[in-house]
Structure 1
């Protein structure tokens, strides 16, 4: 975490520089020297306010998570509370369009995703993001499934299914030269959701 007193103008500047360097040379080669040069600041500033590279990496991931959460919650606030299909699509879009689909952000996300398996703090942040996604999905799915007399336990299973599809499609998109196709992602996930609703209603 950055120390209290870190000039607000420096945070986005350093986060942007960190993502640019990761995009260019990868996470492991993204040294404090390269990041400070990219940002036009001294290495001492990064060490003073973030305690070194790891602290800056953590703040960069936090900023990506903040932007991700803001994008989804902003879209949800603009939709009626009972428009569950639309709200689920807003959650899906939040993972595939806008800030999250920018090339530098995608590469940084992918690097952190891999690195978090070996870093306790980054793993914790990744789990926070996972729980937030599942929470958004479960709220909408339980309300939607209730109108179809489908149980909340089944809604939980579908929420995990959609989250898995989001992760898988996102990962495939990052490794695809054409990038992430948000429209296709939405079509695949909605097809899965429709089939799940049909399956569970036919069992009633």
Structure 2
């Protein structure tokens, strides 16, 4: 029952943060949305901060590469697509990500999660690029691709361009990847 209740609370947290933002989010609202008692949050997560961190770990978990993809270009494509998936682009996720980034500037636990996320993204990209490019170029391409993913995700999630449609940035980032690899092809 514990995993089911934790999932209910995490999903409720995503919904409540979408509705009222981080500062309006309370344990009472989350527990009411989940249909559970407020005490269950304390039991499983300690406090609101613990639940927020668990919610971010849930979103970060969705970004992990869970399957082994042998072809390095296919692996890079998968990473790009996964960062622009329905899970990451849902309004509940985008609102939570925005709050997470802002809060991570002042909260050690959330800052640690953000650093892990950043390093994991670049590391996964670099692993694939190293199979396609010389070492220095692989590192630079991984950093640039990660920045493109973050930048496009931010722009398109905010609706300043693309109205939240992630198809265009996925195509553009994949083209950058291919252009970069072609620069060093024999």
TM-score normalised by length of structure 2: 0.91
User: In 2, are the aligned partners of 1:18 and 1:57 still within 8 Å (CA)?
Assistant: yes
Report the alpha carbon displacement of residue 198 of structure 1 after superposing the two structures with TM. 4.1
Which protein has the larger Cα radius of gyration, Structure 1 or Structure 2?
1
SS in 2 for 1:167: helix
1:158 alignment partner in structure 2: 141
Report the alpha carbon displacement of residue 28 of structure 1 after superposing the two structures with TM. 1.1
Q: How does 1:62-141 map to 2 (within 5 A)?
A: 62-69=57-64, 72-74=65-67, 77=68, 79=69, 81=70, 83-141=71-129
Structure 1 residues 153 and 184, CA gap change in structure 2 (3 angstroms): same
TM-score normalised by length of structure 1: 0.84
Match of 1:189 among 162, 173, 177: 173
2:36 alignment partner in structure 1: 41
Query: Mind listing any 5+ residue stretches in structure 1 that lack a counterpart?
Result: 1-5, 146-150
Report the alpha carbon displacement of residue 195 of structure 1 after superposing the two structures with TM. 3.1
Quote the Cα distance in structure 2 between the aligned partners of 1:8 and 1:198: 46
2:9 alignment partner in structure 1: 14
Deviation per residue, 1:66-85 (Å, 9 max, x gap): 1221xx333xx2x4x1x222
User: In 1, are the aligned partners of 2:84 and 2:153 still within 8 Å (CA)?
Assistant: yes
1:179 alignment partner in structure 2: 164
Paired residues in the alignment total 184
User: In 2, are the aligned partners of 1:46 and 1:52 still within 8 Å (CA)?
Assistant: yes
Quote the Cα distance in structure 1 between the aligned partners of 2:23 and 2:73: 41
Considering only aligned residues, what root-mean-square deviation do their CA atoms show, in Å? 1.8
Quote the Cα distance in structure 1 between the aligned partners of 2:83 and 2:182: 26
User: In 1, are the aligned partners of 2:72 and 2:132 still within 8 Å (CA)?
Assistant: yes
Deviation per residue, 1:129-159 (Å, 9 max, x gap): 11111111011101011xxxxx201110010
Quote the Cα distance in structure 2 between the aligned partners of 1:190 and 1:44: 47
